[in-house]
Structure 1
Amino acid sequence: MSGLLVQQWISVDGFLAGVNGEADVFAAVSDFTASETHNAALLGDIDEVLLGRRTYESFAAYWPTADDEPMARQVNALPKVVCSTTLMAATWGGHAPARVVPDPVDHVRSRRDAGSRIILWGSVSVMRALLAAGEVDELELLVAPVALGAGTPLLAPGAAPLPLSLTESQIWPGGVVRLRYSVG
């Protein structure tokens, strides 16, 4: 299936990060084995990884040298696109650099026409722009066993409701729940 899958780690009360961008959602997960196994299988059907600038900077500092990580070979080999109006280039260690595009909506629309399967990781502002434009086909939430009380919500304050239909769910070790929805 072509289209865009957005995958986000989230707290049980709907926050992607703490008030100041803290990674408390990840800190609450004691075992990432199930998510790594899931994503390794998932990446076999992905044509491209889409990232915002901040997520790109974090990933590019980690993945190119994460040789001991089960998904590293796949992540490093997949074509990557960074949505940014400030970057001129997006290196990826000793691997092929990422392509930089200024407009995520235009990019996803052009790739949709080509029949591509894209995954967006993190990148809240890019995700929100694509949701607002109706370009997200599936939303996969990896729910960590923590309530943050405040922070960065999935949807921007005042955003329109997002109709979802649950298509898959799993309970993973350590209290993580995987929920896959079709959007619209």
Structure 2
Amino acid sequence: MKAQRKIIVYIATSADGYIARPDGDVEWLNRRPADDYGMGVFYATIDTILWGRKTYDWALDYHKRKGRKGGIFDTKLANYVFSRKPPKRETPGVKFVSEPVKTFAQRLRATPGKHIWMMGGGELIASFLDAGEIDEFDIHVIPTLIGEGIPLVAPRHRDVPLRLRSVRKYPDGAIRVRYEVAT
């Protein structure tokens, strides 16, 4: 029997648990060394990325601010953006989703393919977690305190046990912690 596709939160956080500053800025991540922290290996295991609307808008703006040309989204992958309202214009390689999280996740898992990268942000991660649709957290804790920002998971009352899968320390002090959501 073929294993079901997993939805995996693969993300970096500051040492104080934030994925971005309050305005969505992640420049504090760009001060890291060239090490990809296993991103290349992870990327080979996925064929789908899930984006929250704020994360999607931030990525478009960042791409524009940096003066980068060409497409921002890897069109070899399926990119889904969760939003209550559709965009003013279409973005190549991106589909917008407004259906309930659980319905979408179950339909997506039922289709053949590789694993699914939950890009975030914190609100979308919380929605999937609260719907029981996150399988793993693969968190890179960066040794930087940013003091305030967008938390890894939007705050709500919850009690979700995690099972430690592995921990890896990098030479620059970053650590990779992999958890499985206990069922």
TM range, smaller chain: 0.7 to 0.9
Offset of residue 6 of structure 1: 0.8
Per mean C-alpha deviation after superposition, the further-off stretch among 3-12 and 115-124 is 115-124
Cα contact 2:21–2:150 (8 A) shared by 1: yes
Offset of residue 149 of structure 1: 3.1
**1:171 and 1:160, CA in 2 relative to 1: closer, same or farther beyond 3 A?**
same
1:42 aligns with 2:42: yes
Cα contact 1:25–1:144 (8 A) shared by 2: no
Offset of residue 10 of structure 1: 0.8
Instruction: State how many pairs are aligned.
Output: 172
1:85 aligns with 2:79: no
User: Among residues 155, 176, 179, which one is paired with 1:178 in the alignment?
Assistant: 176
Cα contact 2:82–2:97 (8 A) shared by 1: yes
Structure 1: distance between partners of 2:72 and 2:151: 31
**1:159 and 1:24, CA in 2 relative to 1: closer, same or farther beyond 3 A?**
farther
Aligned to 1:111: 108
Aligned to 1:57: 57
**1:173 and 1:105, CA in 2 relative to 1: closer, same or farther beyond 3 A?**
farther
**1:73 and 1:168, CA in 2 relative to 1: closer, same or farther beyond 3 A?**
farther
1:10 aligns with 2:13: yes
Quick check: which one's helix share is greater? 1
- Describe the superposition over 1:51-81 as per-residue Cα deviations: whole angstroms up to 9, x where unpaired: 1112223334539x578xxxx9994421111
With the length of structure 2 as denominator, give the TM-score of the two structures: 0.79
1:163 aligns with 2:166: no
Q: Identity over aligned residues, as a percent?
A: 26
Structure 2: distance between partners of 1:59 and 1:167: 30
- In structure 1, runs of 5+ residues without a counterpart are none
Amino acid corresponding to residue 18 of structure 1 in structure 2: R
Structure 2: distance between partners of 1:128 and 1:90: 26
Amino acid corresponding to residue 104 of structure 2 in structure 1: H
Aligned to 2:149: 151
User: Among residues 11, 30, 33, which one is paired with 1:31 in the alignment?
Assistant: 33
Cα contact 1:141–1:179 (8 A) shared by 2: yes
